[in-house]
Chain A
């Protein structure tokens, strides 16, 4: 051979080896890569929260003492309000503070003593005893004709002013809220009582510019309506709901009270000692949605209360969540405007950010001098704070999935509006302040329930069928049954789902009793048949059936029993079940009957699993060394005894592998469960209910899930769980099978 050709061949051989090796390793990389990618998408669920310090600078010496801070949504501008009634706009990018502007209608010579804020609404109590309610906001405006440029501008508007004479006593603390048609002002009087004032609608100006310029408008003085709220206990602190309809307060010994505010009076709706004993409280705020109350105490503990219906049907505020403890007394709680998160500040100036429902401790903000004032911006994406040393701090805050932790995904969680902790999957609903509930437990339960029912059906049929086919049937029968079952494995699951949901489900719904009767009669009928057969088989002409022709009798018998069941079902229904089996189930088994239920799933999923179990059992039995069989028979064992005592024990690991592989297939199956279950995520083992499985849930929800949103990532997490399920099952099956191979090797 020519040298050149030899060289070329060698080169080709070398190249091929490299390429093929790369190709082979690529498969491994693929598997690892897929898992890595799936996990990578889910990781931010658990480790996504973070804070970055953007800037820190000293507040220029300016007139007055800062009373409140405000941050815009782009983290570009901040605003601080001084006790002199002036506000300053701070450019956070340039670190500059603008000229001071007085609040609209500000009368000089007064000082702000106390500021309470809810969102953009600022309630200020002045040294003169006046009260004013202002709306302060930083609003992005797009300016410029050619290329619109974003400029953040302050928007300041005075909503309400109350004269000192309108209060019964000089108030200690006053809070105002803008309701739908009137403003509500609540004042805490030194006597521990509360005074409620209801003011007619303050003119809401629609014109942004008018607000911006804060022009005086000549309004007629709003009519005053007020009443004194007679509290059974002296009040220490209180807060109002956003619409001004509910008032929450606590007393010195930690008793929490709730009132519904009416026009002229208030109704005390709740009065609880959340800890069952006196427990001094120090701060309170209403969580976004106004259903939960966050409370802090002198030991630095942080709790939330929510209305819960007790055992006697009455609704009481109940201690629902506990959050990470502060090291010292809590002095202030603010709530996020975007999600159910609370910011709490303790005496040492540390600020915690916690999520209410999941009790997840999100972030902690610390400054050397201790923080004094803070604001979490309207989007919850930054924290703007002032420390004791009058330095301003700005953090950018990222809490992409505050509601997700291990607990919220797998354990019972006490959602708002629920009377007890629950496992709920509910990814979307109509209401604005709706909280998505992402518990994967009902879905995992659904997956396991579905495959359990499928196994209940497939396991006996698959194993019995394979045993008969392999050991007792004639070779000709075996030669066409095995491929038939194998081809069955190829039937697309969408077809089985369709038939199960649109043909079988209505059929079983109509003939539910017939179905159960058939199950019972089938067992009875076969038992009876065997008893009769024990006599008949002694006769010569029946003996040919025992030589691999059992099916010739069994299939007609099964069909016959079906007809019998159909025939007697109406009579049985009339006599035993009051003429309506469905109602009987509802009344006696306390279970609703869904048309697409676990019985249907047992059939449909079972149909998918049977070929697996059948084929694997058949293979396992065929793999048993023939010497074992021969030895057993030589010792006088009958063919069933040989099977039961020798073949099955030897083949059992292989059968077990088949069973768990079938189980893995059932858990991962999507189309069938998507079509033939009701897809309701409930936890109920009843055969008359459906379920929602992990796999169907992915198919249902992923089209609506925004990329990189919480739902999207949670769905990826469920894919990871499915992956893990199948990984464990496959590895287990592989281990069992290799052990089996080793055992057979000795024969």
Chain B
């Protein structure tokens, strides 16, 4: 450090270059400001997304009423007039979720206590007022009253559970039918007799049809439970209760109620399926996909990287070959991820995948099994991408082990391999693990190569589930990073989807920062430990 402070004399400020030191501090100041802004934007928007906002009833001078969340108050970029942005929801009624209202046209803003926000399975949120309920219990006419919902809720829940059980059964029968279909295909391909399987399939199909019929009936039953709604303008609308995900009256919620609402949302985020083409609901499949991807990647990447590094550091004799390998590894680290992606597409999917299909699943062709994007190919591609990280970390770790220790072990009669397994690697392991974590954090944030090797907007099934063989590496998968790209850029209503994207962003950022800061802190700690040791 150069903190020696020469006597401060007027006039030396410029000559001695103190001014430039101030200038250089701008650099780091700006970097920190930008990082801070980025974090602030993500954290603020991410955390606020699920917080129940008050519903404002805006009355304009011309007698129009709007109910919604006030998103922002800004100046119009051209006219310079103040205006507010209102999220009015009710997409099926107004076709737009957001409405700009000029402040000068507003005569009154109130926050009616009975205003209700309803999260639905389609068309986004509904903001309005509840007029009453309709159910088989209460008769054909809508009934109003404070405790109607409590009265009909038990029977409604029961019907919903019946439907859930039916759906469960349909799903399992569908899985069975699919496996039968594959068996028949295989039998056909191999020219075997498959009359028995076909008979089984017929029985199953009859059962399936019955289930479907029951499901339809149950839907009809459920559709009799309805809630009667009215929007700010007075337009009425009935909504089947089964479409209601959650309803709340934010204007009369206390802090505790809001907090529990928030927590319920968080629960949904982590453990539920997405709704409305990913713009609402949970991230469960994307989280599972990301975790599976990173774990499968680790399975390939870690051993490969460690073996290569051990070879370079412990076994290879210095020379042209080692030099070439070193250059190759350095170059591997610099190759753009999209190049890895396109390589994965042509090598893993079109060469290896198609080969596997031809040998093991010829009866399925031309429908590809492994010959199309899937989690296995995506993780192999990522493994190649992260191998250099592991190699470099392992090499450094092995280099950090003092050679005296090695010599000591060898002098005691251990073979090279024993020394490696019993002495060198254990001593180097903390720093190797640091490299692993770094590789995982790199893999978790990478999206571009996934887009061509098997990530999808909405996967029909998880890559891990209860049907044999439990882990389905050929399946397509969802991913947090791709979720951000897809929902933020490909969804029809980007503005309405933004909160969800911010939540995903916050989640992914937390995972990555957690991983990489762990590895960096760990690394710094270990560095100190080695410095302290003297051999």
Complex CA gap A723/B308 in Å reads 22
In Å, the complex CA distance between A20 and B494 comes to 51
Distance A463 CA – B438 CA, assembled complex (angstroms):
25
Q: Which of B326-356 contact A (CB under 8 A)?
A: 327-339, 341-343, 345-347, 350
Question: Does B220 have its Cβ within 8 Å of any Cβ on chain A?
Answer: no
Interface size class of B (residues with CB under 8 A): 35 or more
Chain A 222-233 near chain B by CB (<8 Å), digits 1 or 0? 000000000000
Chain A 475-507 per-residue mask, 1 if CB under 8 angstroms from chain B, else 0: 100000101111110111111111101110000
Q: Name the distance in Å between B125's Cβ and chain A's nearest Cβ.
A: 20
Whether A639 pairs with B21 at a CB distance below 8 angstroms is: yes
B31 / chain A contacts, CB cutoff of 8 Å:
461-462, 465, 485, 610, 614
Interface pick from A5-13, A177-185, A242-250, A348-356: A5-13
Closest Cβ of chain B to A385, distance in Å, is 37
Asked if residues A20 and B5 are in contact (CB atoms below 8 Å), the reply is: no
Task: Tell whether A139 is near chain B: CB-to-CB under 8 Å.
Answer: no
A589 to chain B, nearest CB (A): 19
Q: Which of A685-710 contact B (CB under 8 A)?
A: 695, 698-699, 702-703, 707
Provide the bound-state CA to CA distance between A43 and B416, in Å. 46
Which listed residue, A466, A487, A533, A607, touches B517 by the CB 8 Å rule? A487
> For B466, what are the chain A residues with a Cβ–Cβ distance below 8 Å?
none
A667:B29 contact, CB within 8 angstroms:
no
A31 pairs with B332, CB closer than 8 A: yes
Check A487–B513 contact: CB distance below 8 A.
yes
With contacts A464-B27, A668-B336 known, is A21 near B315, CB below 8 A? Answer: yes
B338 touches A695 (CB 8 A): yes
Q: How many pairs, one residue from A and one from B, have CB atoms within 8 Å of each other in the complex? A: 340
Q: How far is the CB of A540 from chain B (nearest CB, A)?
A: 9
**B459 CB–A CB distance under 8 Å:** no
Residues on B with beta carbons closer than 8 Å to the beta carbon of A699: 338, 341, 448, 451-452
* A671 contacts B by Cβ under 8 Å: yes
Among A702-730, those with CB < 8 Å from B are 702-703, 707, 715-716, 719, 722-723, 726-727, 729-730
A734 pairs with B343, CB closer than 8 A: no
Interface status of B33 (Cβ within 8 A of chain A): yes
Taking a contact as CB atoms under 8 Å apart, the answer to whether B16 and A17 are in contact is no
A41 interface hit (Cβ, 8 Å) = yes
Residue of A whose beta carbon sits closest to that of B322:
A24
B199 within 8 A of A: no
Known contacts: A494-B481, A642-B2. The answer to whether A502 contacts B77 by CB under 8 A is: no
In the complex, per-residue mask of A57-78: 1 if CB is within 8 Å of any chain B CB, else 0: 0000000000000000000000
Among A498, A547, A555, A639, the residue within 8 A (CB) of B484 is A498
Q: Does A173 contact B (CB under 8 A)?
A: no
Please tell me if the beta carbons of B327 and A731 are within 8 angstroms of each other in the complex: yes
Is A635's beta carbon under 8 Å from chain B? Answer: no
A719 and B342: CB pair below 8 A? yes
| Distance between Cα atoms of A473 and B26 in the complex (Å) | 12
Report the minimal beta-carbon distance from A609 to chain B, rounded to whole angstroms.
Answer: 12
Residue in B328, B501, B517 whose Cβ sees the most chain A Cβ within 10 Å: B328
A304 at interface, CB cutoff 8 A:
no
Report the separation of the CA atoms of residues A481 and B29 in the bound assembly, to the nearest whole angstrom: 10
Measured CA separation A638–B524 after assembly (Å): 32
Return the chain B residue nearest A529 by Cβ: B22
Say yes or no: A675 contacts B485, CB within 8 Å.
yes
Do B28 and A465 touch (CB < 8 A)?
yes
Complex CA–CA separation, A641 to B339 (angstroms): 45
Residue B379 at the chain A interface, CB threshold 8 Å: no
CB atoms of B387 and A695 under 8 A apart: no
**B47 interface contact, C-beta 8 A:** no
A498 B505 Cβ-Cβ under 8 A: yes
Q: Is the CB of B418 within 8 A of A551?
A: no
A52 interface residue, CB < 8 Å from B?
no
Whether a CB of chain A sits under 8 angstroms from the CB of B34 is yes
Asked if B23 is at the interface of the complex by the 8 Å CB criterion, the answer is: yes
A468 contacts across to B, CB distance below 8 A = 21, 24-25, 27-28
Inter-chain contact A483/B521, CB cutoff 8 Å:
yes
Q: Which of B6-14, B91-99, B162-170 contacts A (4 or more CB under 8 A)?
A: B6-14
A38 within 8 A of B: yes
Contact mask for chain A residues 630-645; partner B; CB cutoff 8 A; 1 contact, 0 none? 0001000011111110
B447, A671: Cβ atoms closer than 8 Å: yes
What A residues does B6 contact at CB under 8 A? 638
Does B52 count as interface, using CB distance less than 8 angstroms? no
Most chain B Cβ neighbours within 10 Å, of A21, A38, A498: A498
In angstroms, how far is the closest chain B Cβ from the Cβ of A147?
Answer: 16
Query: Given A495-B42, A703-B452, A730 and B330 touching (CB < 8 A)?
Result: yes
Contact A502 B501, beta carbon cutoff 8 Å? yes
Residue in contact with A28 in the complex, picked from B27, B32, B328, B505, CB distance below 8 Å:
B328
What are the residues of chain A within 8 A of B445 when measuring CB–CB?
490-495
- Please, which residues of chain A bring their CB within 8 A of the CB of B77? 510
B189 interface residue, CB < 8 Å from A?
no
Q: Is A34 part of the binding interface, using a Cβ–Cβ cutoff of 8 Å? A: yes
Asked if A25 CB lies within 8 Å of chain B CBs, one says yes
Assess whether B311 is in contact with A499, with CB atoms less than 8 Å apart. no
Which of A10, A472, A499, A644 is the one whose CB lies under 8 Å from B2? A472
User: Which residues of A are found within 8 Å of B494, using beta-carbon distances?
Assistant: 502
Name the A residues within 8 Å of B17 (CB-CB). 638-641, 643-644
**Bound complex: CA A731 to CA B482 (Å):** 32
Given A10-B415, A671-B447, A23:B27 Cβ within 8 A: no
Question: Is A16 an interface residue when CB atoms closer than 8 A count as contact?
Answer: yes
Nearest to A492 among chain B residues (CB) is: B445
The answer, among B336, B343, B505, for a CB contact under 8 Å with A670, is B336
- Report which of B29, B33, B307 forms a contact with A23, defined as CB distance below 8 A: B307
Residue B88 at the A interface, CB < 8 A? no
Instruction: Say whether A25 contacts B2, CB under 8 Å.
Output: no
A27 near B: Cβ within 8 Å?
A: yes
Cβ-defined contact, A34 with B343, below 8 A: yes
Q: How far is the CB of A534 from chain B (nearest CB, A)?
A: 4
A550 at the interface (CB under 8 A from B): yes
Q: Does A467 contact B (CB under 8 A)?
A: yes
**CB closest residue in chain B, given A606:** B34
Contact of A490 among B16, B27, B346, B513 (CB under 8 A): B513
B513 and chain A: residue at smallest CB distance:
A487
Within 8 A of A (CB), among B383-434: 384, 387, 391, 413, 415-418, 420
Known: A533-B13, A614-B31, A707-B350. A38 touches B342 (CB 8 A): yes
B332 nearest CB neighbor, chain A only? A31
In this complex, what residue of A is CB-closest to B329? Answer: A27
A26, CB-defined interface residue at 8 Å: yes
- A668's nearest neighbour on chain B, judged by CB, is B336
Residue of B19, B314, B342, B498 touching A715 (CB-CB under 8 A)? B342
Closest to B498 in A: A502
Shortest C-beta distance, A460 to chain B (Å), equals 7
B32 touches A548 (CB 8 A): no
> Is B38 interfacial (CB 8 A cutoff)?
yes
- Is B304 at the interface (CB under 8 A from chain A)? yes
Q: CA–CA, A481 to B341, complex, Å? A: 34
Which A-chain residue is minimally distant from B325 (CB atoms)?
Answer: A28
A559 to B32, CA, bound (A): 12
B461 within 8 A of A: no
Determine the residue in chain B with the shortest Cβ distance to A573.
B80
Q: A472 to B508, alpha carbons, bound, how many Å? A: 35
Contact of A337 with B by CB under 8 A? no
The answer, yes or no, to whether B41 is at the interface (CB within 8 Å) is: yes
Question: Closest residue to B313 on the A side, CB-wise?
Answer: A24
- Are A498 and B501 also in contact (CB < 8 A) when A27-B328, A530-B19 are? yes
Task: Name 9 A/B residue pairs within 8 A (Cβ), A-sorted.
Answer: A37-B343, A472-B2, A483-B524, A493-B448, A498-B488, A548-B3, A554-B29, A716-B346, A730-B330
Known: A638-B6, A698-B342, A723-B335. 18 other contacts (CB 8 A): A24-B308, A25-B321, A25-B325, A34-B384, A461-B27, A487-B513, A490-B512, A492-B444, A498-B501, A502-B494, A533-B13, A546-B18, A550-B25, A558-B30, A580-B78, A641-B16, A675-B489, A702-B342
In order of increasing CB-CB distance, the 5 nearest A-B pairs are A668-B336, A640-B17, A464-B27, A24-B311, A492-B445
